[in-house]
Amino acid sequence: MIFKTQLAVFFFVISGFVKSQNTFSVSVQDSSTAEKLAGVTVQIKNTNVAAFTDGRGFAILTGIPEGEKVFIISFVGYRTLIKTITFPQKDTSVTVIRLAPENEDFEEVVVSTTRTNSRIDDLPIKVEVLGEEDMDEESTIVPGGVGSILGDLSVITIQKTNPVNGNDAVRMQGLDYKYTQMLRDGLPLYEGFSGSLGVLSLPPLDLKQVEIIKGSASTLYGGGAIGGLINFISRTPTDSPKVILTFNQTTLNESNFNSFLSKRNKNTGITLFSGANFKQAYDINKDGFAEVPEQKHFIFHPRFFMYLSKKTNADIGLTVTNDNRRGGDMYAIRYKDDSAHTFLFNEQVLRTTLDAHLTHEVSKHGTLTLKTTGSSFDRSLYYSGFNFSGRQLSSYSEINYLFKNEKHSWVTGANFIVEDFLKKEGDTVHFNNYNYQTLGLFSQEDWQIFKSLSLEAGFRADYHNRYNWFLLPRVGLFYKPSSKFSIRAHYGSGYKIPGLFTSSQPGDYARLVSVDNRVKPELSNGLNLDINYHTLLWEQVAFQLNQAFYYTVIFNPTILQTDSAGNKFITNAPYTVNSIGTDTYIRFKWEKIALYLGYNHTEATLQGTTISYNMPFNPKDKFATTLAYEIEGKWRMGAEAAYSANQYIYNNVRVPNFWFLAAMIERKFKSGSLVLNCENILNYRQSAYEPLVTGTRQNPSFRNIWGPVEGRVINLSLKITL
């Protein structure tokens, strides 16, 4: 009898225990496309009860006690969702969760560079986006500019174009930096005399995202985008007020102070960025000349937003950038140039830009966009006894109409560009003032032929007041047979007019002459193929593979030459530029650990009937990797490595291969974070292999820069969010 009683009690307890354990079944989808998401983390807050969705987007959690439970559903690239559920559930059927991609408004991930405002996954042309989360992270790791984060991409090489003033530029697909077009909020502001000077000094804190198109994109915004296009998108106001402050100090005596403020009301909004960057001149290899020039950089960028109605929005912005640099002989920088220390470089730049945008929803399917900008770029140079001052006044105006429905995205419009260069009155340089005007007409159609197949066709006609007509067709094909696999193929043509300043440096200006009328514009054709695949490995590890292939040929490339009298002039080279390559991107993510692997191989050559040279400053092989780990809300740490190999400079002279390593650790707080970062851990420097300066103290000659010159740099950064 006692045994039977004990047995009854045992089964009663067990039945009660089993009854108190519950099961939760969930299906996770993309909120816009209903695509099943694999590898999503579904976890009960503050417990170890968790599961990952399988290849069907399905997951089951078991052993859940009764009561109210808070679930955290998270996935890379999507907004984290918090959902509260009481157990036992009245309805035990599968719960459908729809995650919204991050960096989006109104549940739609859009890319603005292509003008069709399409989801990034639906574009026939490959666009890579560094989102707001990337910009937030970079604003504390390297707050002084975007060069570091762009250089992490294997297809991009950051080149120091001038050993004296320290300016950097972007090379894509092995091509010269002059073939990469830079935009700010869809406006091409960095051409001609203003060029790419100081563009990479744009602080990440002022940016919402960076959109990168690899390969020919001249059909979008006109000449220049032969190797690729980069569009820097500014932050916009958020519903809740935001104030962010960053303070940074490096071992190279560089100090950065940045602030960002945003606020939005019902009908208006405002963003305000201000920043200051101070660098002291630094002679790292102790040769008496500065590898790091003295620099004082200030930027002020307010924008005012008007939400005039549900169908009409407008904004207007002002950007003022002041940059002063001093390089050359360390004694001349610190004190004053004299007979023993004659080489001094002093550059003063003031860039003032006013821009405005207006969008109006004409109908359910139609949107009209107007945008315009005007820019004044003043630059004064003192280069070892040579003085020069010039101003470039530029403007860009565009009107376009977008029609969009389920099957078609069609945009057509016109733009007008003015580039007016004026040298200082009485200046003795040999080149003259010029005024360039370009009228462009463009049209583009994205056609969703089938659910898995879409076609893009575009055409641009540009009329230049000096070089007449340029006709630029492009076509793209996008095939996506499943949610895991897609293929893109794209052809585009391009052009670039002969630039007086794009092929020359400040040291050339004293003997530079105007571009002769016989110099022809550069013309290009480019092909790109992109294969993308993603899946869930072992039902736990998110895996993504992107394999790209590209080919570009450039006819009539322009180069800088010197005649017998010592004058420097622009002419067409007796060869074509050919670039063919492959770019591989692999990404793994398991729980809080992410691993990125990238490899780029580019054969860029200068091919003539009697000559064949490797493209200078193009690492034929570049490997990059990043490993990151995060403890939500507390710690974030990461390490990255890049290997550059098989690089040549002029006349097929090969330079050493080298590694570049970096690591960081971040401690997060409720109202900010503290970051310790180290760049170039191995302290690799070009000056360890060869002197950077030859000649005499009074008449130095500077070598071309093909590797790091600053050595190891450690920085400590503080971010405060109010």
What is the per-residue DSSP string for 274-308?
A: EEEEEE--B-SS-SSB-SB-EEEEEEEEEEEEEE-
Which run of H or E residues covers position 584?
A: strand 576-590
Look at the block and give the residue holding tokens 């002041």.
322
**591 vs 652, which has greater pLDDT?**
652
Query: Looking at 258-267, 349-358, 475-484, 500-509, which range is the least confident one?
Result: 500-509
Determine the average pLDDT of the residues in 46-65. 85
Whether 9 has a pLDDT exceeding 50, the answer reads: no
Whether 324 has a pLDDT exceeding 90, the answer reads: yes
Query: Looking at 188-197, 287-296, 453-462, 690-699, which range is the least confident one?
Result: 188-197
Whether 353 has a pLDDT exceeding 90, the answer reads: yes
pLDDT for residue 306: 95
Whether 371 has a pLDDT exceeding 90, the answer reads: yes
pLDDT tens digits, 300-323: 999 999 999 989 999 999 999 999
For residue 708, what are the β-bridge partners?
none
Determine the average pLDDT of the residues in 224-248. 90
Task: Indicate the DSSP class of residue 148.
Answer: H
Task: Indicate the DSSP class of residue 265.
Answer: -
Instruction: State which CATH number among 1.10.132.10, 3.30.930.10, 2.60.40.10, 2.40.110.10 fits the domain covering 2-99.
Output: 2.60.40.10
- For 599-696, where are the alpha helices, taking DSSP H only? none
pLDDT band at residue 483 using 50, 70 and 90 as cut-offs: confident
Report how far residue 87's alpha carbon sits from residue 19's, in angstroms, rounded to the nearest whole number. 11
pLDDT for residue 109: 45
Question: Could you write out the DSSP letters of every residue in 98-113?
Answer: EEPBSS-BTTB--BST
Q: What backbone torsions phi and psi does residue 18 show, to the nearest 5 degrees?
A: -65, -40
Q: Which CATH fold would you assign to the domain 120-232?
A: Ferric Hydroxamate Uptake Protein; Chain A, domain 1 (2.170.130)
Exposed e or buried b per residue across 12-49, where buried means at least 16 C-beta atoms within 10 angstroms of its C-beta: eeeeeeeeeebebebbbbbbbeeebbbbbbbbbeeeeb
* Contact call for residues 46 and 115 (beta carbons, < 8 A): no
82: buried, middle or exposed (CB in 10 Å: 19+, 13-18, 0-12)?
exposed
pLDDT tens digits, 501-529: 876 677 788 888 899 999 999 999 999 99
CA-closest candidate to residue 585, choices 550, 533, 660, 657: 533
Mean per-residue pLDDT over the chain, rounded = 87
Q: What backbone torsions phi and psi does residue 258 show, to the nearest 5 degrees?
A: -130, 150
pLDDT for residue 130: 85
Query: Vertex 535, ends 534 and 538: CA angle to 5°?
Result: 150
Whether 417 has a pLDDT exceeding 60, the answer reads: yes
pLDDT for residue 388: 87
Exposed e or buried b per residue across 127-148, where buried means at least 16 C-beta atoms within 10 angstroms of its C-beta: bbbbbbebbbbbbbbbbbbbbb
pLDDT band at residue 10 using 50, 70 and 90 as cut-offs: very low
Whether 325 has a pLDDT exceeding 50, the answer reads: yes
Determine the average pLDDT of the residues in 429-444. 92
**58 vs 117, which has greater pLDDT?**
58
pLDDT for residue 523: 95
Report how far residue 136's alpha carbon sits from residue 287's, in angstroms, rounded to the nearest whole number. 38
pLDDT tens digits, 545-578: 999 999 999 999 999 999 988 899 999 999 999 9
- Fold identical between 120-232 and 233-721? no
CA 646 vs CA 617, 618, 657, 705: distances in Å: 10, 8, 6, 15
Query: Looking at 177-186, 216-225, 681-690, which range is the least confident one?
Result: 216-225
Question: Could you write out the DSSP letters of every residue in 588-615?
Answer: EEETTEEEEEEEEEEEEEEE-SS-EEEP
pLDDT for residue 113: 66
Question: Could you write out the DSSP letters of every residue in 31-93?
Answer: TTT-PBPSS-EEEETTSS-EEE--TTSEEEEEEEPSEEEEEEEE-TTB--EEEEEEES-S--S
Query: Can you read off the two tokens belonging to residue 43?
Result: 């976890």
On the CB side of 705, how many CA atoms lie within 13 Å of its CA?
19
pLDDT band at residue 117 using 50, 70 and 90 as cut-offs: low
**428 vs 394, which has greater pLDDT?**
394
Q: What backbone torsions phi and psi does residue 138 show, to the nearest 5 degrees?
A: -70, -25
For residue 474, what are the β-bridge partners?
458, 492
pLDDT for residue 107: 37
Query: Looking at 8-17, 89-98, 431-440, 480-489, which range is the least confident one?
Result: 8-17
* Contact call for residues 201 and 233 (beta carbons, < 8 A): no
Q: Which residue type sits at 389?
A: S
Per-domain residue ranges of the chain = 2-99, 120-232, 233-721
Report how far residue 567's alpha carbon sits from residue 95's, in angstroms, rounded to the nearest whole number. 75
pLDDT band at residue 111 using 50, 70 and 90 as cut-offs: low
pLDDT for residue 220: 79
Q: Which of 95-99, 461-465, 693-697 has the highest mean pLDDT?
A: 461-465
Q: What backbone torsions phi and psi does residue 182 show, to the nearest 5 degrees?
A: -110, 135
**6 vs 473, which has greater pLDDT?**
473
Architecture (CATH level 2) of domain 233-721? Beta Barrel (2.40)
Q: What backbone torsions phi and psi does residue 686 show, to the nearest 5 degrees?
A: -60, -35
pLDDT band at residue 467 using 50, 70 and 90 as cut-offs: very high
pLDDT for residue 16: 46
Kindly report the number of other CB atoms within 10 A of residue 86's CB atom.
10
Look at the block and give the residue holding tokens 């890379």.
76
pLDDT band at residue 15 using 50, 70 and 90 as cut-offs: very low
Query: Looking at 92-96, 356-360, 668-672, which range is the least confident one?
Result: 92-96
pLDDT for residue 438: 95
Query: Can you read off the two tokens belonging to residue 677?
Result: 């970062």
Kindly report the number of other CB atoms within 10 A of residue 450's CB atom.
9
